Amino acid sequence: MCVARQPIFGTAGDVAGYELLYGRISSNEAAGGVDRSVLSADVLVRAFIDIGLDQLTAGRSAFMKFTREMLLARAYRLLPPESVVIELLDTVKPDEDVEAACEALVDAGYSLALDDFAWDPGYRRVLELATIVKVDVLDQPAARLDEIAQRLAVYDVRLLAARVETADVRAMCAGLGYELFQGSYYARPEMEMTQGLTSDEVTIARAMNVLRDARTADADAEAAFSADVSLSSKLLRMVNSPGRGGRGVESVSDAVQLSGRTELSKWLALLLVSSIAARGPANRELLHLAVQRARMCELLATWTCRDRDTSAPFLVGLFSLLDTISGMPMVDLLESMTLAPPLREALVGRAGPYARPLTLVEVYEQGAWSRVKQHATSSGIDAAHVGTLYLQSLAWTRDRLLSLAGT
């Protein structure tokens, strides 16, 4: 089974939970992330137990879509009620059996959500039991969304606006009383007038490029840090972080010898992106996603790039959300960072050899399993293994961000 997660945000930009998209990779893409033909209730829930919900959600609520069969089988009983929200698919019609199963679910301490809700009087009893109602807001007029909100105002539910694609739609939904939000808007850039990279960030980018340049001697690479005591200190703190075993390295020269220039250049790239992300408090989730993309691109590069140096795909994944995080056009950002042409080609046009792992990561994040299989097969990797790499990248990202927080 493959699983991806999509964040659900609150009104303040905080992450309220993650919706889990899951399915077995097959020739037919799973509708709504659920392949009903091959995932039985027992197999599905036991798979999540084996993976570990906390590994997927870091302690936040996991929104899990349930079919009628899964609901009636009481599959949720194997999952901790404080960790999951059971999301009833819109294809499940609320007959007596479904209503009884929903009552049993709520009585057992679980939260119930309704997926892609459209008003129907037959849902009254289920609405009395639900705590969250998801509404697909894509291309919906304000009057229609307001009508739904007014109808649901008599029930004790929170409204979740799904498929939010622009800031205007998010603002409109918030004004109508929607409290939770999900959609591609949160991973798309909104261009703003900014000052560009700060002098400290330019210094980090230059040092990163120096370390990546094989033509630069080690002594010259070390000299790139000698003029900036703050940067040297940050680099040494990263190398000596508890997540890396607290190595006790005392100089940049020792750090280069111990970790290698390629590894240190990746740490500087992480430092650069985290510095830019720190400008906006709502960027925490985007930073997590960018670092996760970096690691997954690096892991995939063995197959997709046929290149021993996986640091380039790492940088492509890491910088792929930099325009969204910073509010600056990608072209302008890359000009300030003077990245090599193949990296620019991948980031600006999704072209060139380093674009392949990023494209595979992006379709995986969407839960587009048939496209995952297509891209994986063309790269010579077992499609099911991509799911394993996704989980590994989640765990790696948590460790690296904890180490980075100490800088």
3-state secondary structure 21-47: EEECCCCCCCECCECCCCCCHHHHHHH
* Dist. CA 104–CA 361, nearest whole Å: 38
pLDDT of residue 292: 95
pLDDT of residue 31: 43
pLDDT of residue 10: 93
pLDDT of residue 35: 47
Judge whether 367 and 32 are in contact, CB under 8 Å: no
Q: Which residues are 3's β-sheet partners?
A: 22
Mark the ranges of the chain whose per-residue pLDDT is less than 50. 27-38
- Domains of the chain and CATH, by start: 2-187 (3.20.20.450), 199-405 (1.10.3210.10)
pLDDT of residue 36: 47
287 CB neighbour count, 10 Å cutoff: 22
Judge whether 347 and 319 are in contact, CB under 8 Å: yes
Judge whether 387 and 310 are in contact, CB under 8 Å: no
Closest CA to 240 of 11, 407, 52: 407
* Bridge pairing between strands 111-114 and 61-66: unpaired
